[in-house]
Amino acid sequence: MAWTSYYRGDGQPREEAEPPLPPSPPWREFPRPDVAEGRLFQPPEGLVEAVNAALSLRRPLLVTGMPGSGKSTLIESVASELKLGAPLRWHITSRSTLTDSLYRYDVLGRIHAQQFAQLSGAPVEDSIADFLQLGPLGAALAPTERPRALLIDEIDKSDLDLPSDLLDVLERGEFRIPELTRHQDQRVSIRESDAAITHEIVDGRVRCTNFPFIVMTSNGERDFPAAFLRRCVRFRMPPINEEMLARIVEAHLDAATAARVSELISQFARDVGAGRSLATDQLLNAVFLLTGADPEDAAARERLTGLLLRDLSDA
C-alpha cells in the first residue's frame, strides 16, 4: 500500500519531501473554492422541485435527512448555478441565539477603545461602526441587488425557542439594531464577517430588497412547531440506495472507479439499509484510499475498511 509509506512507525527521521505526501482527495484540496462541492452535488428526485418552490415562494427550505446525505452541500450547488456568491453559514448549537445571527456588538471593545484614547490624550471618536458586525442572517437580509444564499445548519440542535424566534424576522424580512436607532448618525456602514463587504444601515433598520435563498438542515432529531413548519418548504432526503451512491462516487472521482468498487458500494447500501449509522463521505474516503491499495494485501484492506467505515454511533 504505497500511500502508507510516508509514516512507517520506525522512529527514523526522514526529509520532509522523502517521500512526498500522496495527492489529496478532490474534496480535500486547499484553499477551497467557495462552491467546489456544489458542482459535484447530485440532487435526489424531487429536490430540484423543492428548491424551485422555495425560490419562487421566497420561503426557507427545510431539508431533513441522515448525516452525510448532502443536505448542507445543497446550498453550494444552488449558489453556484444561480451565481448568488459565496454562501453565508450559520452553524446552530444549543447556545445559538437569533440576535447573534443578526448582528454582533462589541460593547466592551468600544469602551476599551474610548478609555485608551482618553489615557493617550488622543481625540475620542464615537465610531460605533467599528464595533458592529452583521451576522450570517443579518447579512442575508441586508439590501442587495441579488438574493444571498444562507445555510442554517442543524437547526434541530437549537434551543427550543429559536425556530419560533425566527418566524417574525423571516416573515417581515427586516430587523432593527437598537444600538443604531439611538445613535446620532442616521446612516452607518456596517461590515459583514468578510470585512470587504459593508452595508449602509439607515435609522438602525435592516430591510431586505431580495429575500435570500435559505436552506435549513435537520437530522430529524426533534419536532418543530406547526407555525414554523407551515412557513417552510419541506423536503426529506430519500433513503440512500446503491444507484445514488454510485452516482456520488462517479461525480467525485470517475465512472471507472465507481465500477471497480461496486461491491463496496453495494455493501455500504446494505449496511445503511440495515440500520447502521454511516455517512456518504465515509464511503468516499474508503473508495479513495482502497483504490490505491495493494489488491493482494487483503488483511490491510480489511483493516482500512473497518477504520474508515466505523458506525457513527460508535465513539
- In the structure grid, which three cell numbers stand for residue 125, read together? 471618536
Task: Identify the domain boundary among 236, 263, 298.
Answer: 236
Q: How confident is the model at residue 138 (pLDDT cuts 50, 70, 90)?
A: very high
**Residues 133 and 273 grouped into a single domain:** no
Same domain as 280, residue 224: no
Same domain, 16 and 156: no
Q: Has residue 45 got a pLDDT over 50? A: yes
Res 172 pLDDT > 90: yes
CATH of the domain at 184: 3.40.50.300
Residue-wise pLDDT tens digits, 227-282: 999 999 999 999 889 998 999 899 888 899 999 999 999 999 999 999 898 989 99
Beta pairing partners, 217: 63
Q: How far is CA 48 from CA 55, 59, 61, 77, 122, in A?
A: 11, 15, 11, 11, 58
pLDDT given at position 4: 59
pLDDT in tens, 1-39: 445 567 778 888 877 656 677 788 888 888 766 545 556
pLDDT digits (tens, 9 = 90+) for 292-314: 766 667 888 888 899 999 998 88
DSSP string, 108-135: HHHHHHHHHHHHHT------GGGGEEE-
Domain count, the chain: 2
More confident residue, 132 or 185: 132
Write down the pTM of the prediction.
0.85
Q: Between 4 and 222, whose confidence is greater?
A: 222
Residue 68 lies in a domain: yes
pLDDT at 5: 66
Q: Which of 75, 188, 198, 189 is nearest to 144 (CA)?
A: 198
Choose among 39, 134, 145, 27: nearest CA to 90: 134
67: pLDDT strictly greater than 60: yes
Assess whether pLDDT exceeds 90 at residue 175: yes
Write down the pLDDT at residue 42: 84
Q: Which of 236, 254, 275 is the last residue of a domain?
A: 236
End-to-end CA separation in angstroms for the chain:
27
pLDDT: which is higher, 10 or 118: 10
Q: What is the model's pLDDT at position 3?
A: 59
Q: Are 150 and 88 in contact (CB under 8 A)?
A: yes
Average pLDDT, the chain: 87
From 43, 76, 52, select the one nearest 233 (Cα to Cα): 52
- Final residue before a domain boundary, out of 216, 236, 256: 236
Q: Looking at residue 2, what is its pLDDT?
A: 46
Higher per-residue pLDDT: 298 or 285: 285
- Does 177 lie in the same domain as 113? yes
209 with 71, same domain: the answer is yes
Percent of the chain with pLDDT over 90: 52
State residue 301's pLDDT score.
84
Q: Is pLDDT of 140 > 60?
A: yes
pLDDT (0 to 100) of residue 1: 45
Q: Using the predicted structure, report yes or no on whether residue 90 has a pLDDT greater than 90.
A: yes
Residues 108 and 212 in one domain: yes
Q: Do both 248 and 214 map to the same domain?
A: no
- Which amino acid appears at position 275 of this protein? G
Structural domain of residue 9, as residue ranges?
A: 2-32+239-308
